[in-house]
Chain A
Protein backbone atom coordinates (compact mmCIF):
# COMPACT_ATOMS: atom_id res chain seq x y z
CA UNK A 1 0.00 0.00 0.00
CA UNK A 2 2.81 2.32 0.99
CA UNK A 3 4.72 1.28 -2.11
CA UNK A 4 1.72 2.01 -4.28
CA UNK A 5 1.38 5.50 -2.83
CA UNK A 6 5.09 6.13 -3.42
CA UNK A 7 4.80 4.91 -7.01
CA UNK A 8 1.77 7.08 -7.67
CA UNK A 9 3.56 10.13 -6.29
CA UNK A 10 6.66 9.38 -8.36
CA UNK A 11 4.65 8.99 -11.55
CA UNK A 12 2.72 12.18 -10.88
CA UNK A 13 5.85 14.23 -10.10
CA UNK A 14 7.71 12.82 -13.11
CA UNK A 15 4.78 13.74 -15.34
CA UNK A 16 4.74 17.33 -14.09
CA UNK A 17 8.51 17.81 -14.13
CA UNK A 18 9.52 15.91 -17.25
CA UNK A 19 6.50 15.35 -19.48
CA UNK A 20 4.94 18.82 -19.38
CA UNK A 21 7.93 20.51 -21.09
CA UNK A 22 7.84 17.92 -23.87
CA UNK A 23 4.06 18.14 -24.10
CA UNK A 24 4.43 21.89 -24.36
CA UNK A 25 6.81 21.51 -27.32
CA UNK A 26 4.48 19.11 -29.12
CA UNK A 27 1.31 21.14 -28.49
CA UNK A 28 2.83 24.48 -29.45
CA UNK A 29 4.26 22.94 -32.64
CA UNK A 30 0.78 22.12 -33.98
CA UNK A 31 -1.00 25.33 -32.94
CA UNK A 32 -1.82 28.19 -35.26
CA UNK A 33 0.35 31.25 -35.04
CA UNK A 34 -1.91 33.36 -32.85
CA UNK A 35 -2.58 30.70 -30.28
CA UNK A 36 1.11 29.72 -30.12
CA UNK A 37 1.99 33.35 -29.36
CA UNK A 38 0.02 33.10 -26.11
CA UNK A 39 2.75 30.75 -24.83
CA UNK A 40 0.27 28.90 -22.66
CA UNK A 41 -0.10 25.20 -21.99
CA UNK A 42 -3.39 24.53 -23.70
CA UNK A 43 -5.08 22.24 -26.19
CA UNK A 44 -4.68 23.49 -29.80
CA UNK A 45 -7.80 25.17 -31.23
CA UNK A 46 -6.97 23.57 -34.53
CA UNK A 47 -4.33 21.02 -35.44
CA UNK A 48 -2.03 22.46 -38.04
CA UNK A 49 0.63 19.77 -38.04
CA UNK A 50 0.85 19.45 -41.83
CA UNK A 51 0.73 23.20 -42.51
CA UNK A 52 3.34 24.03 -39.88
CA UNK A 53 5.53 21.16 -41.01
CA UNK A 54 5.42 22.34 -44.62
CA UNK A 55 6.01 25.92 -43.67
CA UNK A 56 9.03 25.20 -41.47
CA UNK A 57 10.57 22.94 -44.11
CA UNK A 58 10.10 25.54 -46.83
CA UNK A 59 11.37 28.43 -44.72
CA UNK A 60 14.42 30.23 -46.08
CA UNK A 61 14.75 28.08 -49.20
CA UNK A 62 14.46 24.69 -47.55
CA UNK A 63 17.13 25.53 -45.02
CA UNK A 64 16.01 22.77 -42.68
CA UNK A 65 16.49 20.10 -45.36
CA UNK A 66 19.98 21.37 -46.10
CA UNK A 67 20.69 21.40 -42.38
CA UNK A 68 19.50 17.83 -41.97
CA UNK A 69 21.75 16.74 -44.84
CA UNK A 70 24.70 18.62 -43.32
CA UNK A 71 24.08 17.17 -39.87
CA UNK A 72 23.79 13.67 -41.29
CA UNK A 73 27.06 13.98 -43.20
CA UNK A 74 28.77 15.42 -40.14
CA UNK A 75 27.46 12.74 -37.79
CA UNK A 76 28.04 9.73 -40.04
CA UNK A 77 31.55 10.71 -41.13
CA UNK A 78 32.88 11.84 -37.78
CA UNK A 79 31.47 8.85 -35.88
CA UNK A 80 32.79 6.38 -38.48
CA UNK A 81 36.29 7.84 -38.33
CA UNK A 82 36.17 8.09 -34.54
CA UNK A 83 35.17 4.43 -34.10
CA UNK A 84 37.97 3.06 -36.29
CA UNK A 85 40.72 5.31 -34.89
CA UNK A 86 39.64 4.87 -31.27
CA UNK A 87 39.33 1.09 -31.59
CA UNK A 88 42.89 0.90 -32.94
CA UNK A 89 44.22 2.98 -30.06
CA UNK A 90 42.16 1.16 -27.43
CA UNK A 91 43.41 -2.19 -28.73
CA UNK A 92 47.14 -1.42 -28.68
CA UNK A 93 46.87 0.67 -25.51
CA UNK A 94 45.37 -2.21 -23.56
CA UNK A 95 47.57 -4.94 -25.05
CA UNK A 96 51.03 -3.41 -25.21
CA UNK A 97 52.24 -1.97 -21.93
CA UNK A 98 55.34 0.12 -22.49
CA UNK A 99 56.87 3.42 -21.49
CA UNK A 100 54.38 5.15 -23.79
CA UNK A 101 51.34 3.81 -21.96
CA UNK A 102 51.47 6.32 -19.12
CA UNK A 103 51.84 9.27 -21.46
CA UNK A 104 48.99 8.12 -23.69
CA UNK A 105 46.66 7.54 -20.75
CA UNK A 106 47.51 11.03 -19.57
CA UNK A 107 46.72 12.49 -22.99
CA UNK A 108 43.41 10.62 -23.15
CA UNK A 109 42.35 12.00 -19.76
CA UNK A 110 43.51 15.49 -20.78
CA UNK A 111 41.23 15.27 -23.78
CA UNK A 112 38.30 14.66 -21.46
CA UNK A 113 39.13 17.44 -19.01
CA UNK A 114 40.74 20.32 -20.90
CA UNK A 115 38.35 22.72 -22.63
CA UNK A 116 39.45 23.21 -26.27
CA UNK A 117 41.08 26.57 -27.05
CA UNK A 118 38.77 28.21 -29.56
CA UNK A 119 40.67 30.83 -31.52
CA UNK A 120 43.95 28.88 -31.71
CA UNK A 121 41.95 25.97 -33.16
CA UNK A 122 40.51 28.30 -35.79
CA UNK A 123 44.05 29.51 -36.49
CA UNK A 124 45.25 25.92 -37.04
CA UNK A 125 42.24 25.09 -39.23
CA UNK A 126 42.78 28.21 -41.27
CA UNK A 127 46.43 27.45 -41.93
CA UNK A 128 45.39 23.97 -43.10
CA UNK A 129 42.67 25.45 -45.33
CA UNK A 130 40.00 23.61 -43.33
CA UNK A 131 38.27 26.51 -41.58
CA UNK A 132 34.58 26.86 -42.60
CA UNK A 133 34.68 23.46 -44.30
CA UNK A 134 32.80 20.30 -43.50
CA UNK A 135 35.94 18.09 -43.44
CA UNK A 136 37.44 20.50 -40.91
CA UNK A 137 34.43 20.23 -38.61
CA UNK A 138 34.38 16.44 -39.00
CA UNK A 139 38.01 16.23 -37.87
CA UNK A 140 37.25 18.57 -34.97
CA UNK A 141 34.47 16.29 -33.76
CA UNK A 142 36.82 13.32 -34.14
CA UNK A 143 39.55 15.01 -32.11
CA UNK A 144 37.20 16.11 -29.30
CA UNK A 145 35.27 12.83 -29.10
CA UNK A 146 38.29 10.57 -29.28
CA UNK A 147 39.11 10.34 -25.57
CA UNK A 148 35.74 9.04 -24.45
CA UNK A 149 35.66 6.47 -27.26
CA UNK A 150 39.18 5.24 -26.46
CA UNK A 151 38.24 4.70 -22.80
CA UNK A 152 35.26 2.55 -23.79
CA UNK A 153 37.25 0.48 -26.28
CA UNK A 154 40.20 -0.01 -23.94
CA UNK A 155 37.94 -1.31 -21.18
CA UNK A 156 36.27 -3.74 -23.56
CA UNK A 157 39.50 -5.03 -25.14
CA UNK A 158 40.56 -6.12 -21.63
CA UNK A 159 37.73 -8.67 -21.66
CA UNK A 160 38.99 -10.36 -24.87
CA UNK A 161 41.44 -13.20 -24.04
CA UNK A 162 44.98 -12.74 -25.31
CA UNK A 163 45.05 -16.37 -26.40
CA UNK A 164 42.98 -15.33 -29.40
CA UNK A 165 45.70 -12.92 -30.54
CA UNK A 166 48.35 -15.58 -30.06
CA UNK A 167 46.38 -18.18 -32.00
CA UNK A 168 45.83 -15.75 -34.85
CA UNK A 169 49.50 -14.70 -34.87
CA UNK A 170 50.66 -18.33 -34.94
CA UNK A 171 48.33 -18.91 -37.86
CA UNK A 172 50.27 -16.20 -39.67
CA UNK A 173 48.00 -13.20 -39.28
CA UNK A 174 49.80 -9.85 -39.34
CA UNK A 175 48.72 -6.95 -37.07
CA UNK A 176 46.25 -5.57 -39.62
CA UNK A 177 44.60 -8.94 -40.14
CA UNK A 178 44.56 -9.69 -36.43
CA UNK A 179 42.83 -6.38 -35.73
CA UNK A 180 40.45 -6.32 -38.68
CA UNK A 181 39.45 -9.97 -38.75
CA UNK A 182 39.72 -11.13 -35.13
CA UNK A 183 39.53 -8.22 -32.71
CA UNK A 184 37.27 -5.68 -34.39
CA UNK A 185 34.39 -8.13 -34.94
CA UNK A 186 34.54 -8.98 -31.23
CA UNK A 187 34.29 -5.28 -30.39
CA UNK A 188 30.90 -5.12 -32.09
CA UNK A 189 28.82 -4.52 -28.99
CA UNK A 190 31.00 -1.73 -27.58
CA UNK A 191 31.33 -0.26 -31.08
CA UNK A 192 27.54 0.02 -31.28
CA UNK A 193 27.54 1.78 -27.91
CA UNK A 194 30.20 4.25 -29.08
CA UNK A 195 28.34 4.84 -32.34
CA UNK A 196 25.02 5.52 -30.63
CA UNK A 197 26.37 7.75 -27.87
CA UNK A 198 28.67 9.76 -30.14
CA UNK A 199 25.99 10.14 -32.82
CA UNK A 200 23.69 11.77 -30.30
CA UNK A 201 26.53 13.96 -29.02
CA UNK A 202 27.64 15.10 -32.49
CA UNK A 203 24.08 15.56 -33.76
CA UNK A 204 23.25 17.73 -30.74
CA UNK A 205 26.52 19.67 -30.85
CA UNK A 206 26.00 23.39 -31.11
CA UNK A 207 29.23 25.02 -29.98
CA UNK A 208 31.64 23.49 -32.50
CA UNK A 209 29.54 24.19 -35.61
CA UNK A 210 28.98 27.72 -34.27
CA UNK A 211 32.73 28.35 -34.08
CA UNK A 212 34.19 26.25 -36.84
CA UNK A 213 31.51 26.10 -39.55
CA UNK A 214 29.62 29.39 -39.53
CA UNK A 215 27.48 30.49 -42.45
CA UNK A 216 23.96 29.69 -43.63
CA UNK A 217 24.85 27.22 -46.37
CA UNK A 218 26.69 25.01 -43.90
CA UNK A 219 24.19 25.26 -41.07
CA UNK A 220 23.61 22.15 -38.99
CA UNK A 221 20.21 21.48 -37.43
CA UNK A 222 21.22 22.95 -34.07
CA UNK A 223 22.33 26.16 -35.78
CA UNK A 224 19.05 26.46 -37.71
CA UNK A 225 17.15 26.14 -34.46
CA UNK A 226 19.33 28.83 -32.93
CA UNK A 227 18.91 31.11 -35.97
CA UNK A 228 15.15 30.49 -36.08
CA UNK A 229 14.97 31.68 -32.50
CA UNK A 230 15.94 35.21 -33.45
CA UNK A 231 14.22 35.16 -36.82
CA UNK A 232 10.88 33.61 -35.85
CA UNK A 233 10.52 35.14 -32.44
CA UNK A 234 6.86 35.84 -33.23
CA UNK A 235 6.12 32.47 -34.83
CA UNK A 236 6.45 30.14 -31.91
CA UNK A 237 4.54 27.38 -33.66
CA UNK A 238 7.23 27.16 -36.35
CA UNK A 239 10.05 27.43 -33.83
CA UNK A 240 8.66 24.53 -31.83
CA UNK A 241 7.91 22.51 -34.96
CA UNK A 242 11.57 22.87 -35.88
CA UNK A 243 12.50 21.71 -32.38
CA UNK A 244 10.11 18.76 -32.62
CA UNK A 245 11.64 17.65 -35.91
CA UNK A 246 15.23 17.75 -34.70
CA UNK A 247 14.29 15.87 -31.54
CA UNK A 248 13.12 12.90 -33.62
CA UNK A 249 16.57 11.38 -34.40
CA UNK A 250 17.70 11.25 -30.74
CA UNK A 251 14.26 9.91 -29.79
CA UNK A 252 14.58 7.09 -32.33
CA UNK A 253 18.09 6.31 -31.06
CA UNK A 254 16.74 6.27 -27.52
CA UNK A 255 13.88 3.91 -28.35
CA UNK A 256 16.05 1.39 -30.17
CA UNK A 257 19.28 1.61 -28.19
CA UNK A 258 18.24 2.64 -24.68
CA UNK A 259 20.22 -0.18 -23.07
CA UNK A 260 23.33 0.44 -25.16
CA UNK A 261 23.34 4.11 -24.27
CA UNK A 262 22.91 3.35 -20.59
CA UNK A 263 25.59 0.66 -20.65
CA UNK A 264 28.06 2.91 -22.45
CA UNK A 265 27.56 5.99 -20.33
CA UNK A 266 27.82 4.15 -17.02
CA UNK A 267 30.72 1.87 -18.00
CA UNK A 268 32.68 4.73 -19.51
CA UNK A 269 32.13 7.05 -16.63
CA UNK A 270 32.70 4.64 -13.75
CA UNK A 271 35.97 3.39 -15.14
CA UNK A 272 37.20 6.70 -16.49
Chain B
Protein backbone atom coordinates (compact mmCIF):
# COMPACT_ATOMS: atom_id res chain seq x y z
CA UNK B 1 0.00 0.00 0.00
CA UNK B 2 2.63 2.48 1.10
CA UNK B 3 4.78 1.32 -1.78
CA UNK B 4 2.17 2.10 -4.40
CA UNK B 5 1.50 5.50 -2.84
CA UNK B 6 5.17 6.34 -2.94
CA UNK B 7 5.39 5.22 -6.55
CA UNK B 8 2.40 7.32 -7.48
CA UNK B 9 3.86 10.36 -5.79
CA UNK B 10 7.07 9.95 -7.71
CA UNK B 11 5.28 9.82 -11.04
CA UNK B 12 2.73 12.56 -10.23
CA UNK B 13 3.75 15.38 -12.58
CA UNK B 14 4.62 18.77 -11.13
CA UNK B 15 2.13 21.47 -12.04
CA UNK B 16 5.18 23.43 -13.17
CA UNK B 17 6.77 21.17 -15.80
CA UNK B 18 10.26 21.84 -17.10
CA UNK B 19 9.13 21.50 -20.70
CA UNK B 20 7.60 24.97 -20.36
CA UNK B 21 11.18 26.17 -20.73
CA UNK B 22 11.64 24.25 -23.93
CA UNK B 23 10.24 26.53 -26.69
CA UNK B 24 12.04 29.59 -25.36
CA UNK B 25 15.17 27.59 -24.63
CA UNK B 26 15.40 26.24 -28.19
CA UNK B 27 15.10 29.66 -29.83
CA UNK B 28 17.45 31.26 -27.32
CA UNK B 29 20.04 28.50 -27.49
CA UNK B 30 20.09 28.20 -31.28
CA UNK B 31 20.03 31.90 -32.14
CA UNK B 32 21.84 33.42 -29.17
CA UNK B 33 23.95 30.92 -27.22
CA UNK B 34 25.34 28.98 -30.17
CA UNK B 35 26.44 32.13 -32.06
CA UNK B 36 27.94 33.57 -28.89
CA UNK B 37 30.05 30.46 -28.25
CA UNK B 38 30.86 30.09 -31.95
CA UNK B 39 32.10 33.68 -32.02
CA UNK B 40 35.00 32.75 -29.72
CA UNK B 41 36.20 30.17 -32.20
CA UNK B 42 35.54 32.09 -35.42
CA UNK B 43 37.30 35.17 -34.06
CA UNK B 44 40.47 33.07 -34.32
CA UNK B 45 39.98 32.28 -38.00
CA UNK B 46 40.12 33.82 -41.43
CA UNK B 47 36.55 33.19 -42.42
CA UNK B 48 34.42 33.48 -45.56
CA UNK B 49 31.26 31.72 -44.30
CA UNK B 50 32.03 28.77 -46.58
CA UNK B 51 35.41 27.86 -45.24
CA UNK B 52 37.64 29.04 -42.46
CA UNK B 53 41.26 28.81 -41.59
CA UNK B 54 42.61 28.92 -38.06
CA UNK B 55 45.02 31.84 -37.66
CA UNK B 56 45.30 32.16 -33.87
CA UNK B 57 45.18 35.63 -32.42
CA UNK B 58 46.01 37.44 -35.69
CA UNK B 59 42.62 39.16 -35.85
CA UNK B 60 43.07 40.60 -32.38
CA UNK B 61 46.61 41.70 -33.14
CA UNK B 62 45.37 43.41 -36.29
CA UNK B 63 42.54 45.02 -34.36
CA UNK B 64 44.91 46.66 -31.93
CA UNK B 65 47.48 47.63 -34.57
CA UNK B 66 45.16 49.35 -37.00
CA UNK B 67 44.74 52.97 -35.79
CA UNK B 68 41.16 53.13 -37.12
CA UNK B 69 40.14 50.12 -35.08
CA UNK B 70 41.95 51.24 -31.93
CA UNK B 71 40.16 54.58 -32.25
CA UNK B 72 36.86 52.68 -32.42
CA UNK B 73 37.76 50.82 -29.24
CA UNK B 74 38.43 53.98 -27.22
CA UNK B 75 35.49 55.83 -28.80
CA UNK B 76 33.17 53.07 -27.59
CA UNK B 77 34.24 53.59 -23.98
CA UNK B 78 34.19 57.37 -24.30
CA UNK B 79 30.74 57.31 -25.85
CA UNK B 80 29.27 54.99 -23.21
CA UNK B 81 30.78 56.93 -20.29
CA UNK B 82 29.70 60.31 -21.69
CA UNK B 83 26.13 59.29 -22.43
CA UNK B 84 25.53 57.44 -19.15
CA UNK B 85 27.16 60.23 -17.13
CA UNK B 86 25.02 62.89 -18.79
CA UNK B 87 21.88 60.81 -18.38
CA UNK B 88 22.49 60.63 -14.63
CA UNK B 89 23.41 64.33 -14.34
CA UNK B 90 20.34 65.44 -16.31
CA UNK B 91 17.92 62.67 -15.37
CA UNK B 92 17.98 63.14 -11.60
CA UNK B 93 17.26 66.91 -11.52
CA UNK B 94 14.62 66.44 -14.21
CA UNK B 95 12.96 63.74 -12.12
CA UNK B 96 13.04 65.97 -9.02
CA UNK B 97 11.46 68.74 -11.08
CA UNK B 98 8.82 66.44 -12.53
CA UNK B 99 7.82 65.02 -9.13
CA UNK B 100 7.51 68.49 -7.58
CA UNK B 101 4.27 70.45 -7.68
CA UNK B 102 4.66 72.10 -11.00
CA UNK B 103 2.14 73.28 -13.57
CA UNK B 104 1.68 71.04 -16.64
CA UNK B 105 3.53 68.13 -15.04
CA UNK B 106 1.81 65.54 -17.23
CA UNK B 107 2.70 67.43 -20.40
CA UNK B 108 6.32 67.81 -19.30
CA UNK B 109 6.68 64.12 -18.45
CA UNK B 110 5.22 63.12 -21.83
CA UNK B 111 7.37 65.47 -23.81
CA UNK B 112 10.58 64.35 -22.09
CA UNK B 113 9.72 60.68 -22.51
CA UNK B 114 8.36 60.65 -26.06
CA UNK B 115 11.75 60.64 -27.90
CA UNK B 116 12.49 57.26 -26.28
CA UNK B 117 9.78 55.74 -28.47
CA UNK B 118 10.73 57.38 -31.75
CA UNK B 119 12.78 55.57 -34.36
CA UNK B 120 16.51 56.02 -33.78
CA UNK B 121 17.14 56.37 -37.50
CA UNK B 122 14.54 59.14 -37.69
CA UNK B 123 16.10 61.00 -34.79
CA UNK B 124 19.54 60.56 -36.32
CA UNK B 125 18.51 61.95 -39.72
CA UNK B 126 16.63 64.87 -38.16
CA UNK B 127 19.59 65.94 -36.05
CA UNK B 128 21.98 65.44 -38.95
CA UNK B 129 19.94 68.10 -40.77
CA UNK B 130 19.67 70.35 -37.70
CA UNK B 131 23.44 70.08 -37.19
CA UNK B 132 24.28 70.95 -40.79
CA UNK B 133 27.26 73.32 -40.46
CA UNK B 134 26.00 76.14 -42.72
CA UNK B 135 22.27 75.70 -43.06
CA UNK B 136 21.34 73.79 -39.90
CA UNK B 137 19.11 75.29 -37.23
CA UNK B 138 21.80 74.89 -34.56
CA UNK B 139 24.39 77.06 -36.23
CA UNK B 140 21.86 79.55 -37.59
CA UNK B 141 20.56 80.11 -34.06
CA UNK B 142 24.09 80.46 -32.73
CA UNK B 143 24.96 82.85 -35.55
CA UNK B 144 21.92 84.96 -34.61
CA UNK B 145 23.51 85.64 -31.22
CA UNK B 146 26.94 86.12 -32.76
CA UNK B 147 28.56 82.76 -32.06
CA UNK B 148 30.09 80.71 -34.82
CA UNK B 149 28.96 77.15 -34.18
CA UNK B 150 31.28 74.21 -34.82
CA UNK B 151 30.85 71.71 -37.65
CA UNK B 152 28.97 69.42 -35.33
CA UNK B 153 29.27 66.28 -37.43
CA UNK B 154 31.95 67.35 -39.90
CA UNK B 155 34.63 68.41 -37.40
CA UNK B 156 36.56 65.30 -36.24
CA UNK B 157 36.90 66.62 -32.69
CA UNK B 158 33.14 67.22 -32.39
CA UNK B 159 31.52 64.36 -34.31
CA UNK B 160 31.43 61.69 -31.60
CA UNK B 161 30.41 64.19 -28.94
CA UNK B 162 27.57 65.51 -31.12
CA UNK B 163 26.19 62.02 -31.63
CA UNK B 164 26.50 61.38 -27.88
CA UNK B 165 24.49 64.55 -27.19
CA UNK B 166 21.71 63.36 -29.49
CA UNK B 167 21.81 59.98 -27.75
CA UNK B 168 21.29 61.79 -24.44
CA UNK B 169 18.45 63.85 -25.92
CA UNK B 170 16.72 60.66 -27.01
CA UNK B 171 17.47 58.59 -23.91
CA UNK B 172 17.22 61.01 -21.01
CA UNK B 173 13.46 60.37 -20.82
CA UNK B 174 14.03 56.76 -19.77
CA UNK B 175 16.57 57.79 -17.11
CA UNK B 176 14.14 60.40 -15.82
CA UNK B 177 11.37 57.83 -15.72
CA UNK B 178 13.46 55.43 -13.65
CA UNK B 179 14.42 58.23 -11.25
CA UNK B 180 10.76 59.30 -10.95
CA UNK B 181 9.83 55.74 -9.98
CA UNK B 182 12.63 55.78 -7.38
CA UNK B 183 11.63 59.15 -5.91
CA UNK B 184 7.92 58.32 -5.79
CA UNK B 185 8.70 55.20 -3.75
CA UNK B 186 10.37 57.26 -0.98
CA UNK B 187 7.92 57.52 1.96
CA UNK B 188 6.49 61.03 2.38
CA UNK B 189 7.21 60.92 6.15
CA UNK B 190 10.92 61.31 5.45
CA UNK B 191 10.33 64.64 3.75
CA UNK B 192 7.98 65.77 6.51
CA UNK B 193 10.48 64.80 9.20
CA UNK B 194 13.20 66.70 7.33
CA UNK B 195 10.96 69.76 7.08
CA UNK B 196 10.25 69.61 10.82
CA UNK B 197 13.99 69.44 11.42
CA UNK B 198 14.31 72.60 9.38
CA UNK B 199 15.70 71.23 6.14
CA UNK B 200 14.97 73.28 3.02
CA UNK B 201 14.31 71.99 -0.46
CA UNK B 202 18.00 71.50 -1.10
CA UNK B 203 18.51 69.72 2.22
CA UNK B 204 15.74 67.31 1.31
CA UNK B 205 17.42 66.66 -2.01
CA UNK B 206 20.90 66.26 -0.55
CA UNK B 207 20.00 64.07 2.44
CA UNK B 208 16.92 62.14 1.33
CA UNK B 209 16.57 61.92 -2.43
CA UNK B 210 20.26 61.56 -3.29
CA UNK B 211 21.00 58.57 -1.01
CA UNK B 212 17.62 56.89 -1.49
CA UNK B 213 17.68 57.24 -5.27
CA UNK B 214 20.80 55.10 -5.36
CA UNK B 215 19.13 51.95 -6.71
CA UNK B 216 17.68 54.09 -9.51
CA UNK B 217 21.15 55.47 -10.23
CA UNK B 218 22.52 51.93 -10.41
CA UNK B 219 19.82 51.01 -12.92
CA UNK B 220 20.32 54.13 -15.03
CA UNK B 221 24.11 53.76 -15.12
CA UNK B 222 24.05 50.08 -15.97
CA UNK B 223 21.30 50.34 -18.58
CA UNK B 224 22.93 53.29 -20.32
CA UNK B 225 26.37 51.67 -20.21
CA UNK B 226 25.01 48.50 -21.80
CA UNK B 227 23.16 50.55 -24.40
CA UNK B 228 26.03 52.96 -24.99
CA UNK B 229 28.72 50.30 -25.40
CA UNK B 230 26.79 48.45 -28.12
CA UNK B 231 25.32 51.59 -29.71
CA UNK B 232 25.25 51.35 -33.48
CA UNK B 233 22.18 52.74 -35.23
CA UNK B 234 22.39 56.36 -34.10
CA UNK B 235 26.08 56.63 -34.99
CA UNK B 236 25.48 54.89 -38.29
CA UNK B 237 22.57 57.16 -39.20
CA UNK B 238 24.46 60.34 -38.33
CA UNK B 239 28.12 59.94 -39.30
CA UNK B 240 28.74 56.34 -40.45
CA UNK B 241 31.83 56.53 -38.29
CA UNK B 242 33.12 59.61 -40.11
CA UNK B 243 34.65 61.99 -40.82
CA UNK B 244 37.29 59.40 -41.66
CA UNK B 245 37.01 56.95 -38.81
CA UNK B 246 36.97 59.54 -36.02
CA UNK B 247 33.53 58.61 -34.71
CA UNK B 248 33.76 54.86 -35.27
CA UNK B 249 32.82 52.59 -32.39
CA UNK B 250 33.30 48.83 -32.06
CA UNK B 251 29.75 48.15 -33.29
CA UNK B 252 30.30 50.18 -36.46
CA UNK B 253 33.68 48.51 -37.01
CA UNK B 254 31.91 45.14 -36.79
CA UNK B 255 29.48 46.25 -39.49
CA UNK B 256 32.18 47.72 -41.75
CA UNK B 257 34.37 44.61 -41.53
CA UNK B 258 31.33 42.44 -42.16
CA UNK B 259 30.47 44.47 -45.27
CA UNK B 260 34.05 44.23 -46.46
CA UNK B 261 33.87 40.44 -46.12
CA UNK B 262 36.37 40.12 -43.25
CA UNK B 263 34.11 37.87 -41.21
CA UNK B 264 36.82 36.67 -38.86
CA UNK B 265 37.89 40.22 -38.07
CA UNK B 266 34.28 41.31 -37.66
CA UNK B 267 33.70 38.46 -35.23
CA UNK B 268 36.86 39.39 -33.34
CA UNK B 269 35.27 42.82 -32.94
CA UNK B 270 32.24 41.10 -31.47
CA UNK B 271 34.37 39.20 -29.00
CA UNK B 272 36.17 42.40 -28.00
CA UNK B 273 32.81 44.12 -27.52
CA UNK B 274 31.66 41.19 -25.39
CA UNK B 275 34.81 41.44 -23.26
CA UNK B 276 34.50 45.22 -22.90
CA UNK B 277 30.85 44.98 -21.85
CA UNK B 278 31.44 42.25 -19.29
CA UNK B 279 34.65 43.85 -18.01
CA UNK B 280 32.85 47.12 -17.34
CA UNK B 281 29.29 46.13 -16.48
CA UNK B 282 29.79 43.04 -14.30
CA UNK B 283 32.25 44.53 -11.75
CA UNK B 284 30.26 47.76 -11.69
CA UNK B 285 27.07 45.82 -11.04
CA UNK B 286 28.74 43.99 -8.17
CA UNK B 287 30.30 47.14 -6.74
CA UNK B 288 27.18 49.28 -6.91
CA UNK B 289 24.95 46.60 -5.46
CA UNK B 290 27.39 45.80 -2.67
CA UNK B 291 27.48 49.44 -1.65
CA UNK B 292 23.74 49.41 -1.35
CA UNK B 293 23.71 46.37 0.91
CA UNK B 294 26.34 47.87 3.19
CA UNK B 295 24.28 50.99 3.71
A92-113 near B? 1/0 per residue, CB < 8 Å: 1101100010001001000111
Q: Is A68 an interface residue (CB 8 A)?
A: no
**Across the interface, do B129 and A236 meet the contact criterion of CB distance under 8 Å?**
yes
Q: Is A89 an interface residue (CB 8 A)?
A: yes
Q: Is A239 an interface residue (CB 8 A)?
A: yes
B13-21, B64-72, B81-89, B192-200: which lies at the interface:
B13-21
**Across the interface, do B39 and A120 meet the contact criterion of CB distance under 8 Å?**
yes
Q: Is B42 an interface residue (CB 8 A)?
A: yes
Q: Which B residues, 3 to 22, have Cβ-Cβ distances below 8 Å to chain A?
A: 13-18, 20-21
Q: Is A10 an interface residue (CB 8 A)?
A: yes
- Which B residue sits closest to A173, measured CB to CB? B15
Q: How many A-B residue pairs have CB under 8 A?
A: 244
Interface of B is mostly: helix
Residues on A with C-beta less than 8 A from B204 are: none
- Chain B nearest Cβ from A68, distance in angstroms: 13
Whether A200 contacts B117 in the complex (CB less than 8 A), given A100-B18, A175-B16, comes out as yes
**Across the interface, do B130 and A21 meet the contact criterion of CB distance under 8 Å?**
yes
The residue from B14, B32, B47 contacting A144, defined by CB atoms under 8 A apart: B32
B209-228 near A? 1/0 per residue, CB < 8 Å: 00000011001000100100
Residues on A with C-beta less than 8 A from B271 are: 117
B100-108, B149-157, B287-295: which lies at the interface:
B100-108
B17-57 near A? 1/0 per residue, CB < 8 Å: 11011011001101111111011001000010100000000
**Across the interface, do A113 and B270 meet the contact criterion of CB distance under 8 Å?**
no
**Chain B, interface size: which category?**
35 or more
Whether A24 contacts B130 in the complex (CB less than 8 A), given A10-B108, A206-B121, comes out as yes
Bound-state CA distance A10–B176 (Å) is 15
Residues on B with C-beta less than 8 A from A229 are: 121, 125, 237
Residues on A with C-beta less than 8 A from B255 are: 118, 210-211
Q: Is B274 an interface residue (CB 8 A)?
A: yes
The residue from A6, A41, A95, A247 contacting B102, defined by CB atoms under 8 A apart: A6
Q: Is A187 an interface residue (CB 8 A)?
A: no
Count of chain A residues near B, Cβ 8 A: 93
**Across the interface, do B251 and A115 meet the contact criterion of CB distance under 8 Å?**
yes
Residues on A with C-beta less than 8 A from B277 are: 113-115
Q: Which B residues, 109 to 138, have Cβ-Cβ distances below 8 Å to chain A?
A: 110-115, 117-123, 125-127, 129-130, 132, 135-137
Q: Is B75 an interface residue (CB 8 A)?
A: no
A230-272 near B? 1/0 per residue, CB < 8 Å: 0000001001100100110011011000100110011001101
Bound-state CA distance A116–B267 (Å) is 10
Bound-state CA distance A58–B49 (Å) is 38
Residues on A with C-beta less than 8 A from B123 are: 21
Bound-state CA distance A256–B128 (Å) is 30
Interface residues of A (CB under 8 A from B): 3-4, 6-8, 10-11, 14, 17-21, 24-25, 28, 38-41, 84-86, 88-89, 91-93, 95-96, 100, 104, 107, 111-126, 128, 139-140, 142-144, 146, 150, 165, 168-169, 174-175, 178-179, 200, 204, 206-207, 210-211, 221-222, 225-226, 229, 236, 239-240, 243, 246-247, 250-251, 253-254, 258, 261-262, 265-266, 269-270, 272
